[in-house]
Structure 1
Amino acid sequence: MKNKTEIVTIFTRKTLGLTLVLSAAALAFAQEKAGVSGIIVNKKNQPVPYASVTFSNKANKTLSDAVLTDEKGQYQLQLMPGDYDITVEAIDYKKSVVSKNIAKAGNIGALSIEAEATSTVDGKTKEIQGVVITASATKAYKVELDKKTYDPSQDIVSKGGNLQDVLTNVPSVSVDTDGTVSMRGSTNVKFLINGKPSALLGIDDGANALQSIPADQIERIEVITNPSSKFEASGTSGILNIILKKSKKVGFNGSVVGSLGYFPRTSLNTNLSWRKNNWTWFLNGGGGYTENKTKNNSETTYHNLTFPNVVANQQPNDVLAHQLQNSTNKTYNKNYNVSAGFVHDLSDKTSINFTGLVRTFEGDGNELLDTYDSFYRFFRDSPDPSTTAGKWNLLNPSGRRDSKSVFNNLAFQGDLGLDHKFDDKGQNLSVSLSLQRNRSNNNSDILETYDLRPDVQDVTRRHSVSKTIIGKADYELPIGEQSKLEAGYRLDVNDNTYDNFVSSTSNNPYIPSYNNNTDYKEVFNAFYLQFKSKIGEKFAYQLGLRDELSNVSINYINQNPNDKRIDKTKNYNNLFPSVFLSYDLSKNNQILLNYSRRIDRPRSFFMVPFPNYSNSQNIFEGNIDLNPSYVDSFEVGYNITRKKFTINPTLYYRHSTDDTKMLVYRPDESLGVFYTKPINLGNDDRYGLDLNFTYDPFAWLKIMGSLDMFGYKTSGIAYYDAIDKNKQKQTRNMDFTGDGFSTRARLNTTFKLDKTLSVQLQGFYRGAQKSANQNTQDMYALNLGASKTIWKGDGTISFNIQDIFNTRSREVFSFNEDYTRRNYMQWQPRQFSISLTYRFKQGEKIDQPKKKKDINSNAAGDDQQGGPM
């Protein structure tokens, strides 16, 4: 391991050089334009907010641009001098067109538009309303029919951090101490990047992958708790869609963000964009260095101790009574990423887009595990082995496990898309292709030393490669003014290969089986059809059906001569319906009801019989016969939006069949070796209330909170074979039947001390949770952040402390008929960081002309469709 100073120096040189090169390249494209501003008003000279203002250049259409007015009816944009037709459109107002010559920068004054004669008192029109309920442009999140959209730009605490830091503050989402992400108490979450599975998150990279995506590159996060049929059906607890930044500003714009913190963590990232005529380019890149320190302590007490009968000429096995283990794992990580792409408008109706990205992270770790045993050993009264007389004596030896690991990951992804509008009525076609490759290596050298038995040396080498092809086609067809038909096709081809090597001086009989080569391939063909419409002005509905044909093949070959090659093929054909209903009680007051059916496909390495070997005490065993589980999900929600507050309570119920559980057992009860194996087990029911709210009582105070109260009920009994202390084979069982109730709560308060300085406090609470054989204790933490704008708005300096009181840890009690185990884990102790952001810009933000709100409002443009309002 290099010393910290050398690593930080190397990282700083590389990332600073990358930033300067990218910035210089983008600056070459900068071009001067005239700054034009104005205001849109009605006939009473009142400002019209969020009106669409389109400037059409009469001589050259490629010089045309458009903008939306702000809440005060004002706008500004950059234009080349020339003659323009200015078109103004706004909901409940008549379309207005005027001509003006733009000769130089300046304010062109007020443009007046006339209200529609048919507009109603509360502002509703006969058009189908969009799915977005927005209380204010400054709200941290907005609620839609089938998702919540979270904007991390106001999250001061995660400034200079990564995706994992951002997720800790997202409504309906929880991040465990080991980086595990869950929604409403369930960990089966599907991650998407820009609407698609991505090489950015790898196949089995866990928290390392989350930490490799900088927070400053995230535009928003979409929390989809009950996806419609247009989304892929996997992810029974929901979908988290991470939308990365793509600038919508003319000319050259960008920002550079650097941060420094402790535990040692540094990062430097840049976001650059250039927009000219019908071309838009963007380039994001950077890297970081982090250190993590994980503590894991466990204490196991064995009950019902049985001392086997002594047989002549045979040494009886030791009887383990108690075991205490304390471990500390330090890891050192470096990560780099760069993404670039463009959008090119071939015509007014057709555009193509391309994005390419490369991400890499690498590091090493050192884990020290100290073990203190208490066990009974039989000592004969005579050295004669035929003597059966003697006694059992208590011994207290100790041991140490020293594990040194090196890991690295390299991911590539390329996305190509084509969007075509057949007309201006909403008939659209979108086609996309994504090619991805992810390679991971994880190597460990382990030395185990003990007082009363020989030392053990383990060497593990794991290599995995994932190749993915995703092809999509989506078609939209409006039917009259009230309805829309959508249809699409999607192809997913995933090919994962695992090459594992294990060498050990232990007498573990399963070691040869861990030397294996496995090819896991899955092909999914999906078709969907959705229809959405309105009945009257208040009731809207969406009906969808998705058909997924799945083919999974596993070829498993190991080096153990006692095992045979395993070839397994599985085929599924499943229908996934969805229903979304909404009813407007009044303006910004709505009831939502929806249903969807989902599938939980086993992770690929769960189905490899012997996927990886970690240590001789805790062994993970795959299950090649593992099947998908299915869930029926129901939700009824209510939305109310007012000037100072929003409230969004949702009642939900999920029923899962063939639910996947982790069976932890001892196949040989005379040894303290625990095996973990995924199995299909019975049913799982979850129900609860998910409440999110915002409250802005004063201009200087903003409050955002979420509360998830849920109950759960699990049924099922697992059976397994075990060898008892007398070397007799017995069938054991583990009862998973149980129920309970738990809570998740989060509260954010942001204080604006003056125009440039804000302070934020974040607190969360995770309630205790019980099951038939495991109790998890409650957990809480408090974070602090401060942000100040400097350099006349072009810079921001932020400071944050994560886990002020160092309480973010997890304590779990597991028990069975013959043992009780306590486990304590702290993923990362208290840490703090300071970050500096500098923004350089040439143009102002522009948007496409504002259309009439649509029931298929789609900001991301790829699998992001919501339902009707």
Structure 2
Amino acid sequence: MKNKTEIVNIFTRKTLGLTLVLSAAAMAFAQEKAGISGSIVNKKNQPVPYASVTFSNKANKTLSDAVLTDEKGQYKLQLAPGDYDITVEAIDYKKSVVSKNITASGNIGALSIEPEATTTLDGKTQELQGVVITASATKPFKVELDKKTYDPSQDIVSKGGSLQDVLTNVPSVSVDTDGTVSMRGSTNVKFLINGKPSALLGIDDGANALQSIPADQIERIEVITNPSSKFEASGTSGILNIILKKNKKIGFNGSVVGTLGYFPRTALNTNLSWRKNNWTWFVNGGGGYTENRTKNNSETTYHNIAFPTIVKEKIPNDVPVHQLQNSTNKTFNKNYNASAGFVYDLSEKTSINLTGLVRTFEGDGNELLDTYDSFYRFFRDNPLDLQTVAGKWSLLNPHGLRDSKSVFNNLAFQGDVGLDHKFDDKGQNLSLSLSVQRNRSNNNADILETNDLRPDIQDITRRHSVSKTIIGKADYELPIGENSKFEAGYRLDVNDNTYDNFVSSTSDNPFIPDYNNNTDYREIFNAFYLQFRSKIGNFGYQLGLRDELSNVKINYANQNPNTPAIDKTKNYNNLFPSVFLSYDVSKNNQILVNYSRRIDRPRSFFMVPFPNYSNSQNIFEGNIDLNPSYVDSYEVGYNITRKKFTINPTLYYRHATDDTKMLVYRPDESKSVFYTKPINLGNDDRYGLDLNFTYDPFAWLKIMGSLDMFGYKTTGIAYYDAKDVNGVAKTGSMNFTGNGFSTRARLNTTFKLDKTLSVQLQGFYRGAQKTANQNTQDMYALNFGASKTIWKGDGTLSFNIQDIFNTRSREVLSFNSDYTRSNYMQWQPRQFSISLTYRFKQGEKIEQAKKKKDINSNAAGDDQQGGPM
């Protein structure tokens, strides 16, 4: 049996060498090998690190071997005695070949190589100093067996922006106007940072958290639409794994990026790294200031109103009942972040890593809500005692103004420690990791409501929440033969969330006392998985099974003496299988089929009966009885890669049971107060075509696009107790049953005008979407970016405009048997920014040959602790 050892690519200025060495045949094993050592130096007798040294046996090529020198220019290897040609190659040095006879173990001494030289105009030769060649990745988007990877380095539009800006250009991902992220039309997306749930994204920070992570610190984004059993089962629509930068270059390297923009936006971020001998250090950090202005306008029309007698006697039958609300919310945010860590190689087979991250953001906001009631105007213009009418029927709302001043802040810490050990060079690995996280969030608001009929109402809200998380993981990998691998692992998640809410109000809202509560939420997940992957000819497969045991405890203590405390315990034990199949039709031409089962666990604050009070007109109720929903997900994909284009169409189908839906209702039809409550109801089916492609027709033109066309079908009718306008009990209902079809499309075109200047146009379209009680209008936007390389490649100047035509807004029409509501929302108006990047001295990249990379390497940085087969 023959053993094969791969020697990776050696890049030189003039040649690209690939050395493939075959080990000795059966008779060669019988020969006793000698332990040979030596060093490579330059003409100044200085060591040359990472030089390629190839020993070619003159009599028997199967006895040849190769090695790379270490940081000190030294090398060691085992050779059979004989005559050898020794070839030495290194970047910025001439190729050197010498002959030598190897007879016994020992040090063969130092071999000297000469530097490359270039001829100047005057005929003198000079050494090339500090030349850096920077080449962009050929494809910003690539498809692997169980995930898709997006490289944001070529995304000019998001330069100087945030994670939210980067996500707007990731295939299969959509970002709504309010910062909500969805995949294939579903918002149940699981976020990971470097393969783990992270305190950086907080408990319920939403868009604020996405905006606090700078785009310049993101290495890549892994889009996992159908995760394997190695991943946690949460996130029914998929997982987005954000990989942050950790430089792997020799010596000291780094970059600094400064940004200025409008609406006022400033940012300064830096990435620094240092690598020497067995140590690798990195430090990333920065901060910024942003201002946003959000518009939210709504108009509600009430139908089939059973007017009270005192009102009915005074009005004609055709008086419209309209309520208009216009709000503008201005926010001012400051955010800071820092991460630092190191990797230390204890030996050639064992390394430890330690990382610490901290993120903080704080800000304040001012929201003005102007309410206008057309029905009130009728009574204002016609003789009637308004106080009497309002007392009998509070659906009547006079013109009012609500001024809300809010202050919020968030502080998050995360510490990670890991140990990676290789038992041998065949790929048997063990990875251990521990992550400790803490997130603290404060949201305070002072609200003043005024109108024409009653005294001013003053509301004070104070919301404090803390999340503590411990994640422990162990992953083991065992190769079986050349094409198979067995994997097993264990994971423990312990999450403790506490919510302390306080509300004070001068209004007579009966629910105000219930918002003064303290809640402890604790969830523990134990997960085990087994996975086996193999390949037989052109057919590859991966089978996995994950078992998750979940325990949830909720202790809800209400400060209202009339509301009892609640202690709730829930236990779940679920199996989550996954199947991945692939068939290579030809080279770079592959069919992919997969299946996985997923779970959608309720958000912790969804289960707090009264988690957050915002205003008296819109009340959010939690549901302590909310249960998980489950999804079966199927995909059939085709991937073809050519020199100028790649195309990846995928057909998918998802079936969800006990789907979580938001019930919006009015329990008292005499009041214009809307309630929102999450419930488990019915099924949700989604099917569609997800198409991603890249096309480079010319050296100066690159095109990347995605198209998602999907259909949906939902079932379920929710019933609730209510009272009509005269106080008579009735049963209300909300019908979720419906079906429809929608689209998402994105096109990114990059023009390279010369070697240093590129411009980019980025457009997207989101088609209209309908359900039984809601219609969402279509939306489109166009972004522009330009990038100029300066300072001989050490700097980059970028300019971008987000939403050129100011069209990125959402219009939704909601309706029920007794009302129709239209809503317009724009999260951010048109913005532009300019950023400057400066790169410090760039060291040479570590070649893969320094440490042979096998199929078990953790270069992916994801939750798998290993790359795909």
Shorter-chain TM range is 0.7 to 0.9
Per the normalisation by structure 2, the TM-score is 0.85
Structure 1 residue 84, shift from structure 2 partner: 4.0
Could you say which residue in structure 1 is the equivalent of 2:567? 567
Could you say which residue in structure 2 is the equivalent of 1:709? 709
Task: Give runs of aligned pairs for residues 208-607 of structure 1, distance below 5 A.
Answer: 208-309=208-309, 321-375=321-375, 397-535=398-536, 537-607=537-607
One-letter amino acid of the counterpart of residue 414, structure 1: G
Q: Residues 394 and 659 of structure 1: is their aligned pair in 2 closer, same or farther, counting only changes over 3 Å?
A: closer
Could you say which residue in structure 2 is the equivalent of 1:694? 694
Q: Secondary structure at the match of 2:95?
A: strand
2:336, 2:361 within 8 Å by CA — same for their partners in 1?
Answer: yes
Structure 1 residue 860, shift from structure 2 partner: 2.6
Greater displacement, 449-458 / 297-306: 449-458
Unaligned 5+ segments in structure 2 are 1-8, 22-35, 41-46, 54-67, 99-135, 312-318
Could you say which residue in structure 1 is the equivalent of 2:745? 745
Structure 1 residue 483, shift from structure 2 partner: 1.1
CA distance in 2 between counterparts of 1:811 and 1:321 reads 21
1:802-846 deviation line (CA, Å, top 9, x unaligned): 000000000000000000000000000000000000001251111
CA distance in 2 between counterparts of 1:709 and 1:67 reads 52
Q: Residues 635 and 453 of structure 1: is their aligned pair in 2 closer, same or farther, counting only changes over 3 Å?
A: same
Q: Secondary structure at the match of 1:107?
A: coil
Could you say which residue in structure 1 is the equivalent of 2:160? 160
1:278, 1:345 within 8 Å by CA — same for their partners in 2?
Answer: yes
Q: Residues 66 and 430 of structure 1: is their aligned pair in 2 closer, same or farther, counting only changes over 3 Å?
A: farther
1:440, 1:464 within 8 Å by CA — same for their partners in 2?
Answer: yes
Could you say which residue in structure 1 is the equivalent of 2:93? 107
One-letter amino acid of the counterpart of residue 651, structure 1: L
Q: Secondary structure at the match of 1:492?
A: strand
CA distance in 1 between counterparts of 2:681 and 2:50 reads 56
1:611, 1:622 within 8 Å by CA — same for their partners in 2?
Answer: yes
CA distance in 2 between counterparts of 1:449 and 1:50 reads 80
CA distance in 2 between counterparts of 1:853 and 1:594 reads 27
Q: Residues 655 and 570 of structure 1: is their aligned pair in 2 closer, same or farther, counting only changes over 3 Å?
A: same
Structure 1 residue 697, shift from structure 2 partner: 0.3
Q: Residues 495 and 382 of structure 1: is their aligned pair in 2 closer, same or farther, counting only changes over 3 Å?
A: closer
One-letter amino acid of the counterpart of residue 552, structure 1: V
Q: Secondary structure at the match of 2:375?
A: strand
2:268, 2:286 within 8 Å by CA — same for their partners in 1?
Answer: yes
Q: Secondary structure at the match of 2:514?
A: helix
1:463, 1:499 within 8 Å by CA — same for their partners in 2?
Answer: yes
CA distance in 1 between counterparts of 2:394 and 2:709 reads 51
CA distance in 2 between counterparts of 1:861 and 1:645 reads 27
Q: Secondary structure at the match of 2:612?
A: coil
Unaligned 5+ segments in structure 1 are 1-36, 70-76, 89-95, 113-135, 312-318
CA distance in 1 between counterparts of 2:644 and 2:191 reads 33
Structure 1 residue 375, shift from structure 2 partner: 2.9
Could you say which residue in structure 2 is the equivalent of 1:664? 664
Q: Residues 321 and 105 of structure 1: is their aligned pair in 2 closer, same or farther, counting only changes over 3 Å?
A: closer
Q: Secondary structure at the match of 1:375?
A: helix
Structure 1 residue 560, shift from structure 2 partner: 1.1
2:224, 2:238 within 8 Å by CA — same for their partners in 1?
Answer: yes
CA distance in 1 between counterparts of 2:867 and 2:355 reads 28
CA distance in 2 between counterparts of 1:375 and 1:68 reads 85
Could you say which residue in structure 2 is the equivalent of 1:815? 815
Greater displacement, 855-864 / 658-667: 855-864
1:259, 1:835 within 8 Å by CA — same for their partners in 2?
Answer: yes
CA distance in 1 between counterparts of 2:395 and 2:734 reads 30
One-letter amino acid of the counterpart of residue 586, structure 2: S
1:180, 1:207 within 8 Å by CA — same for their partners in 2?
Answer: yes
Q: Residues 221 and 211 of structure 1: is their aligned pair in 2 closer, same or farther, counting only changes over 3 Å?
A: same
1:229, 1:578 within 8 Å by CA — same for their partners in 2?
Answer: yes
Greater displacement, 851-860 / 830-839: 851-860
1:231-266 deviation line (CA, Å, top 9, x unaligned): 000000000000000001000000000000000000
Structure 1 residue 65, shift from structure 2 partner: 6.1
2:860, 2:866 within 8 Å by CA — same for their partners in 1?
Answer: no
Q: Secondary structure at the match of 1:849?
A: helix
2:52, 2:69 within 8 Å by CA — same for their partners in 1?
Answer: no
1:67, 1:849 within 8 Å by CA — same for their partners in 2?
Answer: no
1:717, 1:737 within 8 Å by CA — same for their partners in 2?
Answer: yes
1:767-824 deviation line (CA, Å, top 9, x unaligned): 0000000000000000000000000000000000000000000000000000000000
Identity of aligned residues (%): 83
Could you say which residue in structure 1 is the equivalent of 2:655? 655
Task: Give runs of aligned pairs for residues 182-201 of structure 1, distance below 5 A.
Answer: 182-201=182-201
Q: Residues 586 and 559 of structure 1: is their aligned pair in 2 closer, same or farther, counting only changes over 3 Å?
A: same
Per the normalisation by structure 1, the TM-score is 0.85
2:39, 2:74 within 8 Å by CA — same for their partners in 1?
Answer: yes
CA distance in 2 between counterparts of 1:220 and 1:597 reads 26
2:50, 2:73 within 8 Å by CA — same for their partners in 1?
Answer: no
One-letter amino acid of the counterpart of residue 478, structure 2: L
Q: Secondary structure at the match of 1:792?
A: helix
Could you say which residue in structure 1 is the equivalent of 2:733? 733
CA distance in 1 between counterparts of 2:396 and 2:189 reads 46
CA distance in 2 between counterparts of 1:392 and 1:505 reads 20
Q: Residues 111 and 217 of structure 1: is their aligned pair in 2 closer, same or farther, counting only changes over 3 Å?
A: farther
1:763, 1:782 within 8 Å by CA — same for their partners in 2?
Answer: yes
Q: Secondary structure at the match of 2:234?
A: coil
1:532, 1:868 within 8 Å by CA — same for their partners in 2?
Answer: no
One-letter amino acid of the counterpart of residue 206, structure 2: G
Q: Residues 794 and 720 of structure 1: is their aligned pair in 2 closer, same or farther, counting only changes over 3 Å?
A: same
2:88, 2:97 within 8 Å by CA — same for their partners in 1?
Answer: no
One-letter amino acid of the counterpart of residue 813, structure 1: L
2:69, 2:75 within 8 Å by CA — same for their partners in 1?
Answer: no
- Compute the RMSD of aligned alpha carbons: 3.2
1:68, 1:846 within 8 Å by CA — same for their partners in 2?
Answer: no
Q: Residues 851 and 820 of structure 1: is their aligned pair in 2 closer, same or farther, counting only changes over 3 Å?
A: same
Q: Secondary structure at the match of 2:187?
A: coil
Structure 1 residue 137, shift from structure 2 partner: 3.9
CA distance in 2 between counterparts of 1:762 and 1:434 reads 37
Q: Residues 159 and 861 of structure 1: is their aligned pair in 2 closer, same or farther, counting only changes over 3 Å?
A: closer
Structure 1 residue 393, shift from structure 2 partner: 14
One-letter amino acid of the counterpart of residue 833, structure 1: S
Could you say which residue in structure 2 is the equivalent of 1:8? none
Structure 1 residue 46, shift from structure 2 partner: 8.3
Q: Residues 184 and 851 of structure 1: is their aligned pair in 2 closer, same or farther, counting only changes over 3 Å?
A: farther
CA distance in 2 between counterparts of 1:87 and 1:629 reads 59
1:452-503 deviation line (CA, Å, top 9, x unaligned): 2221110000000000000000000111112110000000000000000000
Structure 1 residue 646, shift from structure 2 partner: 0.3
Q: Residues 279 and 507 of structure 1: is their aligned pair in 2 closer, same or farther, counting only changes over 3 Å?
A: same
Q: Secondary structure at the match of 1:564?
A: coil
Structure 1 residue 677, shift from structure 2 partner: 0.3
1:699-722 deviation line (CA, Å, top 9, x unaligned): 000000000000000000101111
CA distance in 1 between counterparts of 2:281 and 2:733 reads 60
1:676-715 deviation line (CA, Å, top 9, x unaligned): 0000010000000000000000000000000000000000
One-letter amino acid of the counterpart of residue 249, structure 2: K
CA distance in 2 between counterparts of 1:477 and 1:465 reads 40
Could you say which residue in structure 2 is the equivalent of 1:30? none
CA distance in 2 between counterparts of 1:568 and 1:87 reads 65
Q: Residues 565 and 843 of structure 1: is their aligned pair in 2 closer, same or farther, counting only changes over 3 Å?
A: same
CA distance in 2 between counterparts of 1:57 and 1:200 reads 48
CA distance in 2 between counterparts of 1:360 and 1:430 reads 30
